[in-house]
Structure 1
Amino acid sequence: MSSVEEPVPSPRKRANANRSRILDAAMRCFAGDPDASMGDVAKAAGVVRRTVYAHFPNRDALVEGLADEAGAALAASVEFPEPEDAAVALAAGVLRLGPVSDRYRVLLSFARKEVGEERISELIAPVRTHTYGVVERGRAAGVFSAYLPTVVLVGMMEGLTIATLEQANRGVVDDASGAMALGVLVLAGVAPDRASEVVGSARRWLQITA
């Protein structure tokens, strides 16, 4: 009776798995202690320090690795079909961003100082561009108000999103994505009562299209 041997992972696959494990561990460590060391990250990842340094030669490189991963996730979050109704589309975009924001919101508490505001702005650029387009579409359809230039309004939406995530970091907000969606809609000129209905429609749309 012959046994079937399990395939041995290639060195590249092992390296990629280690890198992902290290980044996951770094996110957890920095969430608990922004000053966590490379040794702390290695311990949390279940690898030796040498393995961490093989992928990230220093702390700056590790933080940049987290930023790169966050940027890729943010870009991917807007590469989906969207509802025809601009208000529902705006809310759905924020809700879809929720899991990404939840995973990477810790970057706001420590990495902004380390990677800089310009880098953070670069990371969220795909979301900013997408939001700009949705707001413009909604204004053309008469769904959103035009009391402010779109670029200013989108900037305010970003500020609200960041502020909400910081409150979530402190444990003040439970449903960060829901709060962000409501706030963004109200900023766009949707009445608060109507905004709650729109968020509900967006949640249902996301469930149907998942």
Structure 2
Amino acid sequence: MSENKPVRRRRADADRSRAAILAAAVVLLDEQPDASLERIAEAAHVTRQTVYAHFTSRDVLLNAVLDQFTQETLEAIDNLELDEGPALDKLLRLINLSWRTFEQHPLLLHVPRTAGPDERHDPVTERFTRLIRRGQNTGEITRELPVDWLVTSVVALGHAAGESVAAGRLSTRTANKTLNTTITRLLRPDSRS
């Protein structure tokens, strides 16, 4: 049994180091998206070798940070109780929550979009799909357009708003308001039909 204590202690030390590195990376990369691993190691109070022991490259560390943001965002989204209340209202609240994440973590506006699908989007896309389908069933959301098209449009509009903020064409507040207005007009059934 005494042989396990040093192993557990090393594991606990490693877990603390990893957590410190991630916490430092979140703060530094939000302030300076191009912060080096050396600077992150310094802020985490660990050696550069310790950083490399946990994250073999800057891209691996960046992906770990993005995974952490995704997990935090999904937990907050699930607290919205998406299956209760008006679907369109819940969808707009989900979008507002996503914008608060951008405000809290400006790094997200500087991460280049991947050419192909990013599996981090899948859980959020699934929640959009569920809300839009529910809204179509209750008549709150237009039935004239397919669910998948509406989800793709909502996601694309969110990316376009983020790119406008990153390029300095819109403030975060204006982008969020404009995005909400555009999505509401896209999803709301045409009252003339």
Q: TM-score range by the shorter chain?
A: 0.7 to 0.9
Alignment deviations for residues 31-61 of structure 1 (CA, whole Å, 9 cap, x no partner): 4544432112223334331232222122122
Is the CA contact 1:74–1:127 (under 8 Å) kept in the aligned structure 2?
A: no
Partner of 1:77: 76
Q: 2:156 aligns with which of 159, 162, 166?
A: 159
Q: Which moved more, 1:57-66 or 1:13-22?
A: 13-22
Within 5 Å, which residues of 2 pair with 1:79-118?
79-80=78-79, 81-82=81-82, 83-104=84-105, 106-112=107-113, 116-118=114-116
SS class of match (2:103): helix
Q: CA deviation at 1:179?
A: 4.3
Is the CA contact 2:87–2:134 (under 8 Å) kept in the aligned structure 1?
A: yes
Q: CA deviation at 1:177?
A: 4.5
Is the CA contact 1:153–1:188 (under 8 Å) kept in the aligned structure 2?
A: yes
Q: CA deviation at 1:124?
A: 1.2
Q: 2:137 aligns with which of 140, 154, 173?
A: 140
Q: Structure 1 44/163 Cα, relative in aligned 2: closer, same or farther at 3 Å?
A: farther
Query: What is the alpha-carbon distance in structure 1 between the residues aligned to residue 176 and residue 17 of structure 2?
Result: 30
Aligned AA (1:71): T
Is the CA contact 1:136–1:150 (under 8 Å) kept in the aligned structure 2?
A: yes
TM-score normalized with structure 2 length: 0.74
Query: What is the alpha-carbon distance in structure 2 between the residues aligned to residue 28 and residue 170 of structure 1?
Result: 22
- Give % identity: 26
Partner of 1:50: 49
Aligned AA (1:182): T
Unmatched tracts of structure 2, length 5 or more: 1-8
Higher relative contact order (Cα pairs below 8 Å, separated by 6+ residues): 1
Query: What is the alpha-carbon distance in structure 1 between the residues aligned to residue 12 and residue 184 of structure 2?
Result: 43
Unmatched tracts of structure 1, length 5 or more: 1-9, 192-210
Alignment deviations for residues 154-186 of structure 1 (CA, whole Å, 9 cap, x no partner): 111111111222333345323254443333222
Q: CA deviation at 1:131?
A: 0.8
TM-score normalized with structure 1 length: 0.69
Partner of 1:180: 179
Q: Which moved more, 1:21-30 or 1:64-73?
A: 21-30
Query: What is the alpha-carbon distance in structure 2 between the residues aligned to residue 168 and residue 23 of structure 1?
Result: 26
